[in-house]
Amino acid sequence: MAQIEHDEVTEVVCLESELQDGQMKEVEVDHQKILLVRNEGQFSAVGALCTHYGAPLIKGALMGNRVRCPWHGACFNTKTGDIEEFPGLDSLPTYKVKVENGKVHVTRDKKNLTKRVKEMSCRAPGVCHTIILIGGGAASLQCAETLRQNGYQGQIIMVTKDELLPIDKTKLSKAMNIESEKILLRSSDFLKQHGIEVWTEKEVVSLNTEENTVSFQDGTTQHYNQLLIATGARARLLQCPGAEMENVKFLQSYKDAAEIYQMSVGNRVVIVGTSFIGMEAAAFLSDKAASVVVVGKSDVPYQFSLGPDIGKMTMKMLEEKNVRFYMNNGVSEIQGGNGKVQQVILQNGDVLPADIVIVGIGVIPNSDFLEGSMVEVDSKNGITVDKFMRTNIPDVFAAGDVASFPLSIHADKRVNIGHWQLAQTHGRVAALNMLKKQVELQSVPFFWTVLLGKSIRYTGYGEGYTDIIFKGSVDERKFLAFYIKGDEVIAAASMNFDPAVSRVAEIMATGKKITKLEAELEDLGWLQLP
């Protein structure tokens, strides 16, 4: 029976004996779903849905006081509701729990929402301190919000070449016709309220670390006390005659996505490259374009990242939707008239009629503007940072796709990984270290891609794997793959096998090694899947 007091509702949700330590249960109080968790004899209750895309956390992985989302790997503290690993910006609401006479009572506020924004400070008059964030992506936004969540009261300026405020870029290749309002990560009102200035359509051309100034293309300069470089990466250009034609497109911004969508509907599309972007674009356009052709250099897509079996399966999925593949091939020339593409000539002489060419052949970190500055950049254009996201220059930090950083699960080997989740983590770690809270980067990479409504999830760092052990069936599109190097699992991928990859990520996050022997076992009891 529900008890209603003021604006609160309390209900008995279960018996104390129904939940053992380390277990969770989805319950309802006044038609609101709530996640009830028991750990070390204590009950706690938080929102039941991930704040990123609303996944049911009951299907996720619980370890100690932390639940990891089954879809994209976000983690929440089950006692405080705070978000501890990304993607997503918001924390979970928390609820009062009381155990009486063997019954568990949960109380919720009548106006309680599914998300909770952490308390944030804003700019205070008289505080003369400026932090500039170069780049308008996930890393900069997370950095700005973390600064405000931790009491920073100086000026925060986010500078972006883009026309839009920070958006959810992961949606651009999965839903090119989406409205920009629907993918804004935060509204302009929210940013204003918390004193986060965003300067759009403003490009940084140089940096003077001796005078602490940033110079812009429009001739203006801005002084900073601390700086975050989170300029992301740009698409690698196609090197062949005709590559400069106007309907040879790269998917980098909201504008690009909208233009590609308009140019592709009812037309002949050629996609160069079997990257995650290229494959997602092929899947999305498969039922909208007159024809979709993919050109790739390897035998199958994802051959080196996910392996030949998964590559073959994804190829088959798209072929079933009439996408054609020209593999072990490349483009020798793009031909057309009046600056517009008409056909693509492949290296083997095949001619593909085309109204638009979409190029997805990798990216290059955006660090060219640092030429002449003292900031250290590696041979692949990545900005070198330590585990506190600091560059070699005091008070200059870097984060996201532009950073070359030490990966803790890979013996601190320097890597450059373009994942959305890592960009957010970098931004958070940079902010905390700007505020002198010595926090090290210790994140397990988590990535996902979506093809025709089916998701492939991936965690770890698989470079240099020597073997793949499969559970389930790749042909039936329900599998878990363990990537092995030596006698250790270094990464995992899955389709229709949740929450296996989230469980693997949580085990890796504790620092525990997963052995090849464990991966080979028939019984995956150690993975504690439901």
Per-residue model confidence as pLDDT tens digits over 37-92: 999 999 999 999 999 999 999 999 999 999 999 999 999 999 999 999 999 999 99
pLDDT at 529 > cutoff 90: no
Per-residue model confidence as pLDDT tens digits over 205-264: 999 999 999 999 999 999 999 999 999 999 999 999 999 999 999 999 999 999 999 999
Fold of 248-361: FAD/NAD(P)-binding domain (3.50.50)
pTM for this model (two decimals): 0.96
Considering the chain, tell me which residue range(s) the CATH 2.102.10.10 domain(s) occupy: 3-109
CATH of domain 3-109: 2.102.10.10
Q: Per-residue b/e over 371-407, b at no fewer than 16 CB within 10 Å?
A: eebebebeeebbbbbbbbbbbebeebbbbbbbbbbbb
Considering the chain, tell me which residue range(s) the CATH 3.50.50.60 domain(s) occupy: 130-234+365-434, 248-361
Domain 453-527: give its CATH superfamily: FAD/NAD-linked reductase, C-terminal dimerisation domain (3.30.390.30)
84, with CB counted inside 10 A (0-12, 13-18, 19+), is middle
In the chain, % of residues over pLDDT 90: 97
Residue 158 tokens read as 């986010």
Query: Which pLDDT does position 2 carry in this prediction?
Result: 57
pLDDT at 112 > cutoff 80: no
Fold of 130-234+365-434: FAD/NAD(P)-binding domain (3.50.50)
Residue 170 tokens read as 């992961």
Amino acid at 213: T
The DSSP bridge partners found for residue 457 are 448, 494
Query: Which pLDDT does position 528 carry in this prediction?
Result: 87
Considering the chain, tell me which residue range(s) the CATH 3.30.390.30 domain(s) occupy: 453-527
Query: Which pLDDT does position 418 carry in this prediction?
Result: 95
Query: Which pLDDT does position 111 carry in this prediction?
Result: 79
Per-residue model confidence as pLDDT tens digits over 339-369: 999 999 999 999 999 999 999 999 999 999 9
Per-residue model confidence as pLDDT tens digits over 507-518: 999 999 999 999
296 with 330: CB under 8 angstroms?
A: no
Cα–Cα dist 185/87, whole Å? 11
